[in-house]
Structure 1
Amino acid sequence: MKQPIDTIVGKAALLIIDVTKGSLLPPDKTPIPIFDAQTAVDNIKVVLESARQAQIPIIFFQELHRPEMVDFGRELEGVEDVHCLEGSEDVEFLDDLKPMKGEFTIGKRRYSCFFSTDLNILLKGLKVETLIIGGFLTDVCVHYTSADAHQHDYYVRIMHDCVRGSSPEAHQASLNAIKYLQTASETNSAEIIGLLEKMTVKS
């Protein structure tokens, strides 16, 4: 049965995907340019504060690859060059957007936050049903994570002003594809903050 767009089903968790220092580098200094990344980061910060007030689970993700480059697989056969090497500043969380005590971090070798990680085990342990998602890139990690979440039977809520892609066109195409899977997936930071504030009042 389709869910109303303005609802969170069951217990929610906030997923912040690959928002690291490398995300804000200028296009000429990164192998993965992101359009208008700072706007998404600013919106995520506000949502993060509301999520902390509502005391919902918060999970941060980092794409990480070994410096020996033995775990890229087919990843470098696309547009992207070498990226997200362990030990580099690029994979560090932003100084004002990083996990606090009691929040979770998961490193991943592939685009989807589910692929070969313990995310599903963690979510089941937390009894989470709805995933609120922000981060980068809409057309890569956000898209693939959302598709896997759908196939694991989670409800997905994508904050459109908290995600950005490799281009406006790719960003929108992926949002459309996710909405095809779950028509209630489209939301934004203001709507989510409103829902989180209601949770805070109840608690």
Structure 2
Amino acid sequence: MTGTVVRNGTQYVRLEATEATIPNTKQFSATALVTSDGHVRELSGSSVVNANDVSDTATRIGFAYEFRRVASSPVRPTWVRNVPRLSLHRVADGEGIAIHNAGERPVPAGTGFSIRATNWNVTDGEPVFRGTARLGQSLQPGKTQYLHAARVSGEVGFFAAQQETTRVNSAVFLSNRTITVDGRTENTRFLLVIELDGNRR
């Protein structure tokens, strides 16, 4: 607690944080205004993610939240339908990942993905695998795109497949790594993460 603030006659406690428990995060800062009964009026801050990797892959993320009383319920913006709603999980055999489109719109063909698989505690291989992949065709609502990892000419690469289990030579297992998928469409960027413990971000 760093003090109190009065807004429109209501007193709020000001809370500040400078540390986060999210892995690979640094330069975290957040400020919240909270009522005496625990209602959060404002929350804002920023952090740098992928901080354990090389500096050119770290990403700064900002966030802000504010509660306001309005005369009527807000109308859902029309642009929300165009925002990708994607989920990420490992495939059963541990040799790849699956990106599922849970939204209302297709993810367009040509969408590119930058993929990173990280485990800084490994003793029998590289701590970081990197690769890229691109959708050859649009990913329709309710459909899943599988990406499998394999080593080709000494380098780890990712390739798209239409099924969860695909047996390939020199497969790379991803079950013991944190997986990060950074994707971009024409006007949207999304970041999907599975931690070592299996939790999704």
Q: Please state which band the TM-score falls in when normalised by the shorter chain.
A: under 0.3
TM-score, normalised relative to structure 2: 0.23
State the structure with bigger RCO (CA 8 A, min sep 6), 1 or 2.
Answer: 1
Greater strand content = 2
Greater helix content = 1
Bigger Rg, which one: 2
